[in-house]
């Protein structure tokens, strides 16, 4: 596999489409800080699937999209594409590729949407990861190595470093398959447990439903015959109500026709009224228009009067202005005469100054010639003294060199003395160190013996902890099993409770009225009664349809409820007003009864009146015979048996019909109590389970601590053995160095004698040079005295020349000033002439404006007279229009009175229609209730039933059928269908149980094979990588030793990896104490060792050479060059040595702030001499 190129569009600082062609070997990326080099590395990580914005140096993923600059707008998306080759066709074809080239793309929109593509076709991130699986190229792998990740390799935990061995071993696909298999295994076991529980529960339900299904079949046959008779009765009642409703509708239609005729008369009267109002409105608008015209005329009169006054005022102001212009003209003539005299005076001054300047110029020339003669003489003497100074400087340099040479000999002598003393001290220190090393070796060997004993004690402690942990885990398993059963029971109770609540409380009528703000529903009948369980059936039969009726605040609420439910399919509904009820009286209670119904009922005290009205006349008796006997002498009470048989005062007997409302209410209360008890039990078991799990965590933590301690002791033993070896090497080096110091002391003595002889020769040469320097300095002093005398003379001449030049300059400036002033006066004179001409023109203009104003005032006065005459005419028209409007108002009042009378008559008809509406609604409600009852209870429409007379034999048969159904008790007809469903479900679950058992066995076998293969590959990879790591380490460091150590030698599948490194010339120490450069080389040694065993297609190094010095950089660059034959390298660097091994260079610049630009350069080898 090889990376052909990468293309960036709108990614970070790369605003425009940017392509990087990647060649075999090493490609360098260079540029100043902040230009966007690392953004290229981020692009590789991003296209390979990096999901962390922080890993891409941002806060949120949208920050990878170009955010704009001073000249460029922000981009709407970022896209990175990478083209790879060398898949031998398989990978390409398998992923929708074309030939050997495969393009992988990732795109992110600013809206947050993103997509992955292979050859421009959408795909999943998993598809892209599968392509690079076990190639070593992944956004998390160390094939992309930034400067920060170097420290991450060394500072991470041992368990995190195992990733290095896994990459070399190529077991990533096995890890993924194992994780998938474990996930499936866990899911399968959970499913198996759940299906086992379900099968047991279904089997239990089947056994229960078998008997109930047979009973339901018998009940179904009896109910069918009973329903046929009940339908005939319902159809007859429906017909009677329908006929009564037809008469009401006839009267209703006649009144509606009458109401329509009256409404037409009212509409005609309203039209006439509106017409007169519109006519009146038009006249009022016409009056308003005339009034506006009158106001406009008055405003125009006022404006003309003001304009005339303003014109007269302007004429007055223009006359004053003309007088002012005449005065200014006289002032200009006087000023012109004054300036003419001043110009003549300035001319005479200019001639005088010119004569003075010529005389001073002649004197300046004579003084300047004498001054130049003395300056030439001084120049000759200064050349002589400069020659002497050069001689003195040459001798001084010679003298300085001699003194420096003497100083060097003295410094050398002192240095040799210090070296002699230091060598003596170092020899003494080495002798002492040899003694200390022998003592340290003895201490290390003693420490190794103690550590071995401590390791045995820790092993025994670990075995004890594991035994305790096993016992606690067994207890947790028992608790989990019990807790699972308790939770299932709790869920079953909760489900039954929810079902009962839905049946009892969630009726369509109640839900609809609860959303209405107009109807005040206080409670339902079942809410206010708490019935003795023994007499639930009796009380519910006595209440009959009223057992689930709703209690309203007032009778008016019942009417509003009827209106709200009209036209809605909510079934049968019953209402009782909670207020306005009358006290009902019943006869004396006869003997031979069990008790009054109210004696076995607890009633909410707010609804006592409701309960008394409904149950006050109900007596509970032992059986139906007793009820018939008592009814014969008592026609004021209703008698109910404990089985729910009702004997009404009319003699009618009602059997069955029990809905179980009160029984369900009682069951809800009992289930609620059971639920709370079960919830408390689950909480206690949870607490006990949590406590046991905490103990497990404590014991596991203790085991981990013991294992860590054992691992640390093993490391200490290993380090101690290495330390002992180091001490032996150090002892040998110290002995060799002591012999070398003895030879060095003899050499220092010889060098001291040579230095003393050289110091004596240098001192003699210094004395000779100092004598020559003194002679030159005396001659130079004599020449300097002559120069000083002549300089005094030249200063006198210089002062006179300067004064003359200053006087000439001053006179010339005065002459220029006089000339300038003369020119200024002449310009002023010209300006005055021009201004006088302008004043004469302005006087003529003012005269014309006065004439114009006088003509305008004349025309405005004529216009004013016409406007006053028009305004008088309009005023008379306004008076006439007001009189017409008053007459129109009187006619309108008479028409409105007639309309009021018609509306009163129409109101009486509407009231009668409203009364019929209520009656009609009541009949329709009865029809709807009958139809709903038939539809809901019998599943047919009442109109589809044929009208037929019900015979007495059919009525007797109906009573017999009801008795039989009543004796059967509650029968669930859904049991038949439920039984069939359970049998189907039981067969399906049994098959699922067999499949899952087989699947679990197959998964366990697959995981075992994966573990065996992975263990073998990891062991082989560890041994090869450990050996190669030592070789690369010695190559990069020029010596030393390094190795990888498994933290759990016998469990390589879970073992971490420790790194031991000892650079040359240093003691073995913790890798965290290594310098930055040493850490970088150690991390690179691991990475390069991996490449030598299993080369990756691409390696990216982002300033990995930053911590390295020059020599280390050269070794690093050589290693890169060697590895580049198998791996493509992209190196981001500032180092010239690293750049030197790159075959291609990309320069990144930022000519425009915030926008990166690429410059490409190809490097080739040049033969020596060209």
Position 117 scores a pLDDT of 93
Position 691 scores a pLDDT of 83
Task: Give SS3 for 895.
Answer: helix
Give the Å distances, CA to CA, from 769 to 327, 395, 398, 922. 100, 6, 7, 146
- The residues, ordered by sequence, that sit 6+ positions from 1161 with a Cβ below 8 Å of its Cβ are 1144, 1145, 1146, 1147
Does position 812 have pLDDT exceeding 90, yes or no? no
Task: Give SS3 for 202.
Answer: helix
Beta strand pairing call for 638-641 and 618-621: parallel
Does position 991 have pLDDT exceeding 70, yes or no? yes
Q: Backbone phi, then psi, for 101, in 5-degree steps?
A: -80, 140
Give the Å distances, CA to CA, from 846 to 307, 322, 324, 329, 1153. 20, 7, 11, 15, 67
- The one-character DSSP state at 584 is P
- Based on its alpha-carbon atoms, the radius of gyration of the chain, rounded to whole angstroms, reads 60
Does position 80 have pLDDT exceeding 90, yes or no? yes
* Residue 655, in any domain of the structure: no
Alpha-carbon gap, residue 630 to 1028, rounded angstroms: 111
Report pLDDT digits (tens) over 438-467.
888 888 888 887 888 888 888 878 777 777
* Residue 20, in any domain of the structure: yes
Model confidence at 583, pLDDT cuts 50, 70, 90, reads low
Does position 90 have pLDDT exceeding 60, yes or no? no
* Residue 1117, in any domain of the structure: yes
Residue 146 · residue 1102 · CB < 8 Å: yes
Position 575 scores a pLDDT of 72
- The residues, ordered by sequence, that sit 6+ positions from 84 with a Cβ below 8 Å of its Cβ are 1, 2, 3, 4, 101, 102, 104, 131, 1097
Model confidence at 103, pLDDT cuts 50, 70, 90, reads very high
Model confidence at 567, pLDDT cuts 50, 70, 90, reads low
Residue 37 labeled ligand binder = yes
Residue 473 labeled ligand binder = no
Give the Å distances, CA to CA, from 1135 to 422, 871, 1081, 1102. 40, 103, 16, 12
Average pLDDT over residues 352-374: 74
Residue 1140 labeled ligand binder = no
Number of H helices, E strands in the chain: 18, 24
Q: For the domain that residue 1107 is a member of, what is the CATH number? A: 3.40.50.300
Q: State the CB neighbour count (10 A cutoff) for residue 1026.
A: 17
Residue 35 labeled ligand binder = yes
Position 95 scores a pLDDT of 43
Give the Å distances, CA to CA, from 645 to 46, 541, 639, 737, 1056. 81, 7, 8, 123, 82
Give the Å distances, CA to CA, from 876 to 6, 866, 1060. 97, 17, 122
Position 566 scores a pLDDT of 67
Alpha-carbon gap, residue 1064 to 1038, rounded angstroms: 7
For the chain, what's the residue count?
Answer: 1170
* Residue 321, in any domain of the structure: no
Does position 545 have pLDDT exceeding 70, yes or no? no
* Tokens 């599943």 -> residue: 939
| DSSP-assigned letters across all residues of 781-840 | HHHHHHHHHHHHHHHHHHHHHHHHHHHHHHHHHHHHHHHHHHHHHHHHHHHHHHHHHHHH
* Tokens 């075999």 -> residue: 24
Task: Give SS3 for 97.
Answer: coil
Q: What angle do CA 560, 564, 569 make, to 5 degrees?
A: 140
- The one-character DSSP state at 572 is -
Residue 528 · residue 578 · CB < 8 Å: no
Distance between first and last Cα of the chain: 37
Average pLDDT over residues 628-646: 77
Does position 78 have pLDDT exceeding 90, yes or no? yes
Long-range contacts of range 486-492, CB-CB < 8 Å, 24 or more positions apart? 486/678, 486/681, 486/682, 486/685, 487/682, 488/197, 489/678, 490/675, 490/678, 490/679, 490/682
Alpha-carbon gap, residue 993 to 996, rounded angstroms: 5
Residue 33 labeled ligand binder = yes
Rounded to 10 degrees, the C-alpha dihedral 438/443/446/452 comes to -120
Name the residue range of residue 99's domain. 1-141+1103-1170
Alpha-carbon gap, residue 635 to 631, rounded angstroms: 6
Per the structure, how many domains does the chain have?
1
Residue 34 labeled ligand binder = yes
Residue 216 · residue 972 · CB < 8 Å: yes
Q: Backbone phi, then psi, for 247, in 5-degree steps?
A: -65, -45
Residue 1130 bridge partners (DSSP): 27, 1100
- The residues, ordered by sequence, that sit 6+ positions from 581 with a Cβ below 8 Å of its Cβ are 609, 610, 613
* Residue 83, in any domain of the structure: yes
Report pLDDT digits (tens) over 220-268.
778 777 777 877 787 787 888 888 888 888 888 888 888 788 888 888 8
Residue 81 bridge partners (DSSP): 7, 105
Task: Give SS3 for 145.
Answer: strand
Model confidence at 89, pLDDT cuts 50, 70, 90, reads very low
Alpha-carbon gap, residue 726 to 1065, rounded angstroms: 10
* Residue 253, in any domain of the structure: no
* Residue 588, in any domain of the structure: no
* Residue 200, in any domain of the structure: no
Q: State the CB neighbour count (10 A cutoff) for residue 463.
A: 10
């Amino acid at each position: 596999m090889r990376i052909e190129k990468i293309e960036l569009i709108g990614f970070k600082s790369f605003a425009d489409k940017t392509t990087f062609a990647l060649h075999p070997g090493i490609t360098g990326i260079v540029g100043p800080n902040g230009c966007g080099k690392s953004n290229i590395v981020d692009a590789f990580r991003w296209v390979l699937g990096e999901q962390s914005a922080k890993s891409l140096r941002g806060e949120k993923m949208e920050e990878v999209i170009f955010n704009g600059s001073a000249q460029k707008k922000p981009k709407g998306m970022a896209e990175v594409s990478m083209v790879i080759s060398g898949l031998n066709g398989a990978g390409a074809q398998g992923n929708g590729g074309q030939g050997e080239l495969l393009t992988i793309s990732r795109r992110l929109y600013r809206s947050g949407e993103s997509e992955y593509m292979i050859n421009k076709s959408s795909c999943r991130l998993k598809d892209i990861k599968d392509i690079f699986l076990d190639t070593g190229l992944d956004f998390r792998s160390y094939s992309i190595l930034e400067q920060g990740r170097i420290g991450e390799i060394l500072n991470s935990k041992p368990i995190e470093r195992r990733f290095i061995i896994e990459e070399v071993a190529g077991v990533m696909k096995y890890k993924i398959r194992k994780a998938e298999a474990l996930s499936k295994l866990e899911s399968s076991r959970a499913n198996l447990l759940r299906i086992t529980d379900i099968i047991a529960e279904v089997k239990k339900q089947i056994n229960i439903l078998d008997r109930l299904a047979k009973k339901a079949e018998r009940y179904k046959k009896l109910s069918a015959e009973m329903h046929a008779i009940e339908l005939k009765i319902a159809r007859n009642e429906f017909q009677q109500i329908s006929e009564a409703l037809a008469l009401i509708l006839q009267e209703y239609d006649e009144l509606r026709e009458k109401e329509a005729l009256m409404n037409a008369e009212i509409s005609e009267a309203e039209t006439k009224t509106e017409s007169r109002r519109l006519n009146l409105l038009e006249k009022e608008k016409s009056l308003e228009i005339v009034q506006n015209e009158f106001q406009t005329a008055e405003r125009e009169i006022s404006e003309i009067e003001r304009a005339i006054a303003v014109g007269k005022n302007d004429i007055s102001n223009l006359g004053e202005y003309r007088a002012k212009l005449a005065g200014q003209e006289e002032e200009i003539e006087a000023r012109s005469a004054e300036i003419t005299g001043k110009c003549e005076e300035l001319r005479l001054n200019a001639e005088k100054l010119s004569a003075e300047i010529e005389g001073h110029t002649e004197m300046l020339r004579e003084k300047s010639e004498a001054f130049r003669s003395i300056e030439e003489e001084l120049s000759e003497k200064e050349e002589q003294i400069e020659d002497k100074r050069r001689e003195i400087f040459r001798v001084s340099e010679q003298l300085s060199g001699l003194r420096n040479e003497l100083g060097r000999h003295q410094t050398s002598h002192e240095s040799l003395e210090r070296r002699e003393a230091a060598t003596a001290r170092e020899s003494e220190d080495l002798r002492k160190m040899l003694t200390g090393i022998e003592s340290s070796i003895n201490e290390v060997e003693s420490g190794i013996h103690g550590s071995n004993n401590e390791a045995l004690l820790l092993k025994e402690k670990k075995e004890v902890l594991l035994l305790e942990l096993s016992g606690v885990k067994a207890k947790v398993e028992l608790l989990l099993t019990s807790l699972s059963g308790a939770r299932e029971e709790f869920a079953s109770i909760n489900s039954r409770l929810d079902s009962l609540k839905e049946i009892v409380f969630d009726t369509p009528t109640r839900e609809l009225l609860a959303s209405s703000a107009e109807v005040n529903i206080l409670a339902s009948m079942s809410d206010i009664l708490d019935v003795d369980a023994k007499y639930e059936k009796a009380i519910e039969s006595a209440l009959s349809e009223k057992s689930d009726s709703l209690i309203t605040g007032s009778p008016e609420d019942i009417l509003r409820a009827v209106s709200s439910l009209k036209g809605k399919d909510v079934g049968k509904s019953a209402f009782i007003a909670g207020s306005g009820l009358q006290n009902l009286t019943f006869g004396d209670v006869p003997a031979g009864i069990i008790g009054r119904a109210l004696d076995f009922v607890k009633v909410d005290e707010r609804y006592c009146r409701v309960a008394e009205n409904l149950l006050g006349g109900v007596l509970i008796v032992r059986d139906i015979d007793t009820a018939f006997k008592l009814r014969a002498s008592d026609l004021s009470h209703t008698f109910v048996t404990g089985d729910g048989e009702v004997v009404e005062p009319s003699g009618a007997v009602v059997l069955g019909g029990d809905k179980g409302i009160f029984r369900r209410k009682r069951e809800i209360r009992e289930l609620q109590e059971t639920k709370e008890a079960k919830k408390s039990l689950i909480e206690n078991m949870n607490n006990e389970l949590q406590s046991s799990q905490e103990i497990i965590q404590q014991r596991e933590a203790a085991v981990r601590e013991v294992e860590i301690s054992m691992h640390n002791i093993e490391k200490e033993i290993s380090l101690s053995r290495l330390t002992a070896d180091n001490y032996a090497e150090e002892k040998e080096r110290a002995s060799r160095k002591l012999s070398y110091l003895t030879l060095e002391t003899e050499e220092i003595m010889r060098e001291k004698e040579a230095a003393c002889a050289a110091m004596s020769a240098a001192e003699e040469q210094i004395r000779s040079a100092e004598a020559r320097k003194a002679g030159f300095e005396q001659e130079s002093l004599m020449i300097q005295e002559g120069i000083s005398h002549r300089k005094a003379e030249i200063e006198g001449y210089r002062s006179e020349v300067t004064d003359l030049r200053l006087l000439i300059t001053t006179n010339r400036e005065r002459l220029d000033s006089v000339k300038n002033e003369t020119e200024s006066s002449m310009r002023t004179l010209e300006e005055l002439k021009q201004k006088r001409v302008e004043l004469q023109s302005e006087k003529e203009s003012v005269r014309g404006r006065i004439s114009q104003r006088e003509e305008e005032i004349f025309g405005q006065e004529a216009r004013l007279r016409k406007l006053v005459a028009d305004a008088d005419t309009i005023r008379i028209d306004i008076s006439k229009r007001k009189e017409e409007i008053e007459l129109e108002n009187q006619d309108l009042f008479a028409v409105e009175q007639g309309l009021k009378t018609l509306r009163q008559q129409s109101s009486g008809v509407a009231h009668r229609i409203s009364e019929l509406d209520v009656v009609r609604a009541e009949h329709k409600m009865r029809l709807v209730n009958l139809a709903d009852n038939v539809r809901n209870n019998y599943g047919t429409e009442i109109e589809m039933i044929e009208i037929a007379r019900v015979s007495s034999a059919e009525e007797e048969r109906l009573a017999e059928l009801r008795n039989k159904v009543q004796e059967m008790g509650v029968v669930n007809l859904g049991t038949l269908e439920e039984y069939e469903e359970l049998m189907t479900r039981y067969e399906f679950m049994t098959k699922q149980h067999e499949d899952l058992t087989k699947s679990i066995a197959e998964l366990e076998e697959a995981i075992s094979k994966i573990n065996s293969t992975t263990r073998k590959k990891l062991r082989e990879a560890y041994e090869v990588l450990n050996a190669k790591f030592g070789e690369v380490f010695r190559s990069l460091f020029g010596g030393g030793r390094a190795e990888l150590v498994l933290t759990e030698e016998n469990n390589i599948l879970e073992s971490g990896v420790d790194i031991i490194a000892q650079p040359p010339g240093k003691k073995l120490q913790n890798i965290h104490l290594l310098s930055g450069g040493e850490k970088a080389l150690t991390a690179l040694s691991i990475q390069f060792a991996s490449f030598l065993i299993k080369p990756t297609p691409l390696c990216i190094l982002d300033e990995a050479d930053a911590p390295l010095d020059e020599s280390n950089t050269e070794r690093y660059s050589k290693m890169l060059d060697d590895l580049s034959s198998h791996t493509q390298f992209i190196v981001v660097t500032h180092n010239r040595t690293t750049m030197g091994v790159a075959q291609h260079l990309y320069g990144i610049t930022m000519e425009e702030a915030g926008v990166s630009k690429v410059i490409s350069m190809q490097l080739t080898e040049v033969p020596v001499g060209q």
